[in-house]
A = this chain, B = another copy of it.
């Protein structure tokens, strides 16, 4: 199961923690719409190599642009277009920073999923592990 699908199944208190990771810098709409692409790239390495960050972000923008043009829903198309324009500027200005933001978000998501998984284990399972 993809990381993003696992997040959809968390309790609301954990989803809220994930929510704090996403704002105008990296809108959650992109995380959802391009979840497969985002999860299949090595953002940790890209965050330290500008040429790699530039390529990964350029691909991300192309895919987002394609999503915009295919989107039938008026509100969703409007939002994706607005996000695309804002993200295009940020990716050109500071690709390393942007790759770093994505890398951090994915890492923090994994941490929250892991915490939720431990917390949701009952006392019996915990004692059996000890």
Contacts and interface: CB of A to CB of B under 8 A. Distances in A.
Interface stretch (A44-52, A56-64, A72-80): A72-80
Contacts of A8: 74
A41 interface: no
Copies of this chain in its oligomeric complex: 2
A7 B29 CA distance: 23
Contacts of A29: 75, 79
Contact of A78 (B19, B75, B81): B19
Interface string A16-50: 00010011000011001000000000000000000
A82 B23 contact: yes
Contacts of A82: 23
A75 B23 contact: no
Given A7-B74, A19-B81, A29-B75, 9 more contacts: A8-B74, A15-B74, A19-B78, A22-B78, A23-B82, A28-B75, A28-B78, A28-B79, A29-B79
